[in-house]
Amino acid sequence: MLTAPYGTWPSPLDARTVAAHDGRPEFLGAVGGELWWTAPRPEEGGRRALLRLPAPDAAGGDDPGTPRSVLPPPWDVRNRVHEYGGLPWGAAARATGGPLLVFCHQGDQRLYAHEPDVPGAEPRPLTPLGSRGEGLRWADPEVHLDRGEVWCVLEEFTGERPTDVRRVPVAVPLDGSAADDRSRVRELAPARNDFVTGPKLSPDGRQAVWLAWDHPNMPWDGTELRLAEVAADGCLTAARTVLGGPAESVVQADWAADGTLLAVSDASGWWNLYRVDPEGGEAVGLCPRAEEFGDGLWKLGLRWFAPLADGTVAVLHGRGAKRLGVLDPHTGELVDAVGPWTEWAPTLALDGTRVVGVGAGARSGYEIVELDTATGHSRVLAERHTHAVDPAYYPHPVERTFTGPDGREVHAHVYPPANPRARGPEGEAPPYVIWVHGGPTSRVPLVLDLEIAYFTSRGIGVAEVNYGGSTGYGRAYRERLRGGWGVVDVADCATVALGLAEEGSADRARLAIRGGSAGGWTTAVSLTSPAAAGVYACGTISFPILEPEGWSGDDTHDFESRYLEGLIGDPERDAERYRERSPARNAHLMTAPFLLLQGLDDVICPPAQCERFLDALAAVGGTPVPHTYLTFEGEAHGFRRADTIARAVEAELDLYLEVFGAPVTTPEPA
């Protein structure tokens, strides 16, 4: 056993390995007995590939078969609706000729149709290019072969400003007649709301539902479940709200096979599953619990429940972590899947009695898992987790609850250093880095993350904080951040950091903080706020919000352009509050060394914010605060390319080694 300074332990886990395992499968769907999904390809410029797995009878026996790519590079199955994207593909099985696929290509944001089983077939465009602003974008598609259309959401820029946008449910003809003619795109209903999801047709084809909400609400604040009749001309008429409202969040709705309308609403204070009366009567809770059966609708097409043909419903539920279960809506009985997966991503696919999801554990990455509801058996179908290194180098995380200001609970996941070949000096506590998730209305799952293991295997502990405002713990916990962003999150993160130090788990002099996007904001505020002065020795700030007074409005994208009205307050009435919390205005209070990482194509948190922040820091005078500013061409909000991810991880480690007093040169892998 080697005794060595924390941060310098020899580890077989290098930055390239971390980059190669970044991301997880998304947007599962069943197509004619096959399973399809998107998967990250960091080594291919960060594109999303679309994969398919043969139907069980085609695979033979118990072998789930080998996935194969539906589209070769450079096809990138991803859209930019709301900038965060959403469900980018839909497909339907045909009697002959194989499935028909409709997908959005990241490069030009057009919808394409493709017949992957037809020899020599190439994707053909279905939609035109836009001529104003960021053009035309499409998401949440549902292919209707009998109608010769794909129903989806159109996000259309009407001017040059990022907030000059309209969104509307539309029908795109499958014959390609709209490829060069915007007028051939049929708008299914008037664009009466700022935001909508894709319409879902009832089993009898007579009705359709979608979600809608308006500024300044975000989808976790208040949404409406809209229901309309399908007229003879195929338009949606007599639309009415049957659930939800300005202070009630409905995050998913779908039809059961018998025509029953189901939805997830937080009317009780928790996102629970309800049976909805299409005539507007009172919704009936199917499994009332102080648990979440949904989460923040950050991307269109996320799915937390799926009705099976026998009347039961596959659900993701839990307090904090999500489990996969099957609910009998008539009795309220809920039975969870058996297996090592303790966290499930918000995507589900159905094929007969099979439920397929994306599950992970504290010491295993995300896998595509099948639950056979007829037998209760579960198995991994694809994306099987394999250890990148000896799992002895993985941390053993612990769920913790700390007591914050006013006695409030603060939830966190603590990852102590772990290395089978090394230990720290006798009587010395390790350094710890507080990881702040983005959102901020989001949640960090307790799953194996090789980026965390990269640090813990070298002797640097990590604590992820689900601070007040995070999802997974009920609406009241989310609402703690209302008006308090930059205060509550900062205090909760400091509570965890100082709590670890006070109990002797962490070295009080070697605490750091890091985060990206909204987590970058919390990190920057923590390093420039008198309330957190002296807590952290350094920080890593990635693609952050640094100027809240400018970020609210046309300096960011439309989806979040009024988000801060709930998080901080009215930009005019509460202008002083914005100024008080602004890292850019408080640059003179920055004393801790920091690393600043920014994608140059980021339209959510534009790089100009970083540049003005650094200018303000330089204008302070005196001894400059040590810092490194790295920018990455071709990267937007969040890094996708292997080279970028590896460079960022290595730079972050260098910061900690320098500040924590260890040599910058990293030991060779064991």
Tokens read off for 335: 């039975």
> What's the pLDDT score for residue 670?
40
Listed in sequence order, the residues at least 6 apart from 665 whose beta carbon sits closer than 8 Å to its beta carbon are none
| DSSP characters over 533-580 | TTT-SEEEEES----HHHHTTTTS-GGGTTTHHHHT--TTTTHHHHHH
Assign 3-state DSSP to the chain and report helix, strand, coil percentages, each to 5.
Answer: 20, 35, 50
Residue pair 657/649 in contact by the 8 Å Cβ criterion? no
pLDDT in tens, 341-378: 999 999 999 999 999 999 999 999 999 999 999 999 99
What pTM was computed for the model? 0.94
In this structure, the strands spanning 136-144 and 124-125 are unpaired
- Whether 667 shows a pLDDT value over 50: the answer reads no
The pLDDT of 575-602, averaged and rounded, is 96
Say if residues 363 and 385 touch (Cβ distance below 8 Å).
no
Residue for token pair 């009332």: 288
pLDDT tens, residue by residue, 46-60: 999 999 999 875 444
Q: Is residue 618 exposed (0-12), middle (13-18) or buried (19+ Cβ within 10 Å)? A: exposed
Cα 202 → chain centroid: 28
Q: How confident is the model at residue 65 (pLDDT cuts 50, 70, 90)?
A: confident
> What is the reported pLDDT for 61?
54
454-474 pLDDT, tens per residue?
Answer: 999 999 999 999 999 999 999
The DSSP H or E segment spanning 502 is: helix 488-502
Reported as a pLDDT band with limits 50, 70 and 90, residue 662 is low
Return the pLDDT at 661: 83
What integer pLDDT is reported at residue 569 of this predicted model? 96
Nearest to 351 by CA among 381, 385, 320: 381
- The rounded distance, in Å, linking the Cα atoms of 213 and 266 is 15
The answer, yes or no, to whether the previous bond of 416 is cis (omega within 30 of 0) is no
Predicted confidence at residue 59, as pLDDT, reads: 46
How large a percentage of the chain has pLDDT more than 70?
A: 97
Contact 489, 343 (CB under 8 A): no
Please say whether the beta carbons of 131 and 160 come within 8 A: no
Of 396, 428, 407, 424, which Cα lies nearest the Cα of 501? 428
Burial class (CB in 10 A: 0-12, 13-18, 19+), 119: exposed
Average pLDDT, the chain: 95
| Preceding omega of 391 cis (within 30 degrees of 0) | no
Instruction: Kindly list the structural domains of the chain, giving each domain's residue range(s) and its CATH number in brackets, ordered by start.
Output: 2-14+389-659 (3.40.50.1820), 195-302 (2.120.10.30)
Distance in angstroms (rounded) separating the CA atoms of residues 430 and 508: 9
